[in-house]
Amino acid sequence: EKSGYPHFMLKEIHEQPQTILDTIRGRYSYESGEADLPDIGLTPKQFAEVGRIWIVACGTSWHAGLVGKYLLEEMVRTPVQVDIGSEFRYRDPLIEKNDLFITISQSGETADTLAAAREAKQKGARVVSIVNVVGSTLARESDGVLYTHCGPEIGVASTKAFTSQLAALYMLALHLGRVRGVLTVADGKSWLDRLVTLPALVKHVLGREAEILAIAKRYYKKPDFLFLGRGINYPIALEGALKLKEISYIHAEGYAAGEMKHGPIALIDKDMPVVVLAPRDRLYEKTVSNLMEVKARRAPVIAFVAEGERELGKIADAVFTIPDVHPLLSPILFTIPLQLLAYHIAVLRGEDVDQPRNLAKSVTVE
């Protein structure tokens, strides 16, 4: 059932062109530039009345939520508060009637996420959940649901579920942006044009797995890794670090690139590879100057950049390029090589990637 792959994790990584397509397929109307989400549970009028937006999730799903904040704030122009399930539920949050409360969960059974959703509902918020497992508790208890439809995820480390959560968040942001009148028909069409190209771009990146394997072979013995990203790719740095630590047991930390000089730089030396995500956006130059400081401390730099970039290629010890897409779409394309990097490093170290120690697929305890 691994379809010829040595591990479920690798099989699921390679399923992503299809699973991302499954998340968006049949869920939009191109003519009107709108997302068509029949199970979303709220009428356009109710969406129009939404006051504030909250996103609550745990682990990798929380990283998707952090990306969702950027997408929603950009496409819906409404502030979004993102919380970790276990933090939200214990602090008497200032949630109000008509707030939109979005939860994200692969399993739909995560205890802290579920408890947060119950609390939000009790306070009068409208709960919409992005869930993979059909009929799960969270799906049943929410006012509306957006299924990711990426099929069962067997590997304990979440891969395809994460990119489908991101794809679902684009659809939700498009829907809200349109019903709240922030995005025009033409804007909606442009977003759909970009979204439908994603599966082929993901496939293209997967086709270059050998380059990632070569990078993994150079660095798999290192004891610590730092992952840096900015803006919408800061959560992807967190996700890259989480993937690496959970299956390879290497100590890895994700940081906002601008925070490096506020502490973590003290750790940097020749034995700590620094993985950096640097799309061509308005923050690119700032990231380059962060990396000069890393290089000055002789740390190996592994740079993930957009096609056509020149500068980092000169500074970095290893470079992997992704297609040059709209900045808001870059998180999905950066995620793929980071998943492969974690996978190959873990395999080279002889770890059991599908069943990492101490981890459970579904965390139903607090």
Q: Which residues are catalytic?
A: 361
Out of 16, 19, 23, 61, the residue judged to bind ligand F6R by CB under 6 A:
61
Retrieve residue 239's tokens: 């996700």
- Decide: is 235 part of the binding site for ligand F6R (CB under 6 A): no
- Decide: is 142 part of the binding site for ligand F6R (CB under 6 A): no
- Decide: is 110 part of the binding site for ligand F6R (CB under 6 A): yes
Q: DSSP assignment of 1-24, as one string?
A: --TT-SSHHHHHHHTHHHHHHHHH
Identity of the residue numbered 195: L
- Decide: is 158 part of the binding site for ligand F6R (CB under 6 A): yes
At 102 the three-state DSSP class reads: strand
Out of 23, 113, 137, 330, the residue judged to bind ligand F6R by CB under 6 A:
113
Q: How far is the CB of 120 from ligand F6R (least distance, A)?
A: 16
Contact 255, 264 (CB under 8 A): yes
Segment near ligand F6R (CB under 6 A), from 24-32, 99-107, 273-281, 309-317?
99-107
Q: Which is closer to ligand F6R, CB of 28 or CB of 227?
A: 227
- Decide: is 157 part of the binding site for ligand F6R (CB under 6 A): yes
- Decide: is 105 part of the binding site for ligand F6R (CB under 6 A): yes
Out of 9, 21, 58, 274, the residue judged to bind ligand F6R by CB under 6 A:
58
- Decide: is 60 part of the binding site for ligand F6R (CB under 6 A): yes
* CB neighbour list of residue 169: distance below 8 Å, 6 or more residues apart: 64, 67, 68, 71, 72, 104, 130
Q: How far is Cα 344 from Cα 151, in angstroms, rounded to an integer?
A: 23
Q: DSSP assignment of 113-157, as one string?
A: HHHHHHHHHHTTPEEEEEESSTT-HHHHHSSEEEE-------SSS
Q: Which is closer to ligand F6R, CB of 65 or CB of 93?
A: 65
- Decide: is 106 part of the binding site for ligand F6R (CB under 6 A): yes
Q: Which is closer to ligand F6R, CB of 244 or CB of 312?
A: 244
* CB neighbour list of residue 231: distance below 8 Å, 6 or more residues apart: 70, 281, 283, 327
Q: How far is the CB of 162 from ligand F6R (least distance, A)?
A: 8
Q: How far is Cα 61 from Cα 217, in angstroms, rounded to an integer?
A: 29
Between residue 238 and residue 277, which ones bind ligand F6R under the rule CB under 6 A? 242, 246
Number of Cβ atoms within 10 Å of the Cβ of 169 = 26
φ, ψ at 92 (rounded to 5°): 50, 65
- Decide: is 107 part of the binding site for ligand F6R (CB under 6 A): yes
Q: Which is closer to ligand F6R, CB of 113 or CB of 330?
A: 113
Enclosing H/E stretch for 256:
strand 251-256
Query: What Å distances lie between residue 73 and 69, 118, 237, 281, CA to CA?
Result: 6, 25, 20, 17
Segment near ligand F6R (CB under 6 A), from 58-66, 213-221, 258-266, 303-311?
58-66
Q: Under the rule (CB under 6 A), what is the footprint of ligand F6R?
A: 58-61, 105-107, 110, 113, 157-158, 242, 246, 362-363
